[in-house]
Amino acid sequence: MTFLQQLLTEVLPKTWAEDMQAESLTWMVRCPCKFERSIWEIGGIRWKAKGSPRRRLVCPKCGQRTWHTVYRKPG
């Protein structure tokens, strides 16, 4: 857990912190090589958000710095 994740989970009410983590786990980051992981896993937070932005990240699978698509997993 990153410093920001720890700080917010300690400061926010417990139900909000749990909701923030649960929602961040449904937001996925996908590399063009098809490797994907959740925003929470990479140390981020995406809570009460909309849209499908792109982030330039290094993929741990292919090792390339590419534009990753951010999307919310259905269900």
d(CA 31, CA 29): 7
| R_g over Cα of the chain | 13
Flag residues of the chain having pLDDT under 70: 75
Report the pLDDT value the prediction gives residue 1, as an integer from 0 to 100. Answer: 86
Report the pLDDT value the prediction gives residue 8, as an integer from 0 to 100. Answer: 93
Report the pLDDT value the prediction gives residue 74, as an integer from 0 to 100. Answer: 85
Q: Are 24 and 38 in contact (CB under 8 A)?
A: yes
Query: Nearest CA to 31 among 73, 70, 68, 58?
Result: 68
Domain spans, the chain: 3-72
